[in-house]
């Protein structure tokens, strides 16, 4: 695995994930602001792109890392911060991405049956944004625990 460009012990893919995820977290905040300014079309494009890009990142980098480094040690090592952080992050991350995909499908398409479409958009969009940022902090903490000096 090649060395990181940020100077930590992380492989390049993890550094890239970190930088992209932080940019995407900020992007979602900018997207939320677009909705407040009533630029709904721009808002929809911005948030949808980020949710879909996140799906790609989860599939390409995070799920494989989870399978390689976390899953084989569960449940016996869940008491260790190294595994606990990553496992909590992964579980809540799944919820955030699922929530994002659900809003995307419910608000932007007609795919879902009427019964399961959401009506309180604002509430759900804000809730997913809050959970997303919690996941982002947990991801940064996972990165720090895995690759930085106090390891
Ligand atoms: C909203 C959703 C998510 C966000 C914002 C997010 C964000 C992040 C960030 C910033 C990192 C640090 C960069 C890195 O170490 O690669 C990270 C790492 C990680 N995430 Fe996520 N993540 C999300 C969902 C998930 C999901 C669903 C899983 C489930 C498998 C997951 C598993 C991991 C693992 C195992 C790492 C450590 C990867 C490594 O360093 O090799 N994440 N995440």
Q: What is the residue-level pLDDT of the chain in tens, covering all 151 positions?
A: 556 678 888 999 999 999 999 999 999 999 999 999 999 999 999 999 999 999 999 999 999 999 999 999 888 888 899 999 999 999 999 999 999 999 999 988 889 888 888 888 899 999 999 999 999 999 999 999 999 864 4
pTM, rounded to two decimals: 0.90
Q: How many angstroms does the Cα of residue 21 sit away from the middle of ligand 1? A: 9
d(CA 10, CA 109): 39
Atom of ligand 1 nearest to the CA of 13: 16
**What is the residue extent of each domain of the chain?**
12-147
Distance from the Cα of residue 147 to its chain's centroid: 19
Please tell me if the CB atom of residue 54 comes closer than 6 angstroms to any atom of ligand 1.
Answer: yes
Q: Is residue 78 within 8 Å of residue 70, measured between CB atoms?
A: no
Q: How many angstroms does the Cα of residue 96 sit away from the middle of ligand 1? A: 12
């Amino acid at each position: 695995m090649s060395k990181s460009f940020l100077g930590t012990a992380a492989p390049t893919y993890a550094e890239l994930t970190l930088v992209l995820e932080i940019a995407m977290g900020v992007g979602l905040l900018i997207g939320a602001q677009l909705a407040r300014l009533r630029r709904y079309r721009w808002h929809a494009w911005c948030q949808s792109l980020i949710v879909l890009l996140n799906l790609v990142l989860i599939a390409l980098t995070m799920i494989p890392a989870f399978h390689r480094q976390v899953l084989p040690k569960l449940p016996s090592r869940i008491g260790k911060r190294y595994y606990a952080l990553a496992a909590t992050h992964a579980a809540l991350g799944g919820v955030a991405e699922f929530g994002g995909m659900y809003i995307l499908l419910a608000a932007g398409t007609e795919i879902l049956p009427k019964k399961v479409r959401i009506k309180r958009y604002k509430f759900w969009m804000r809730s997913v944004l809050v959970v997303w940022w919690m996941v982002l902090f947990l991801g940064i903490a996972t990165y720090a625990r895995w690759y930085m000096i106090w390891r």
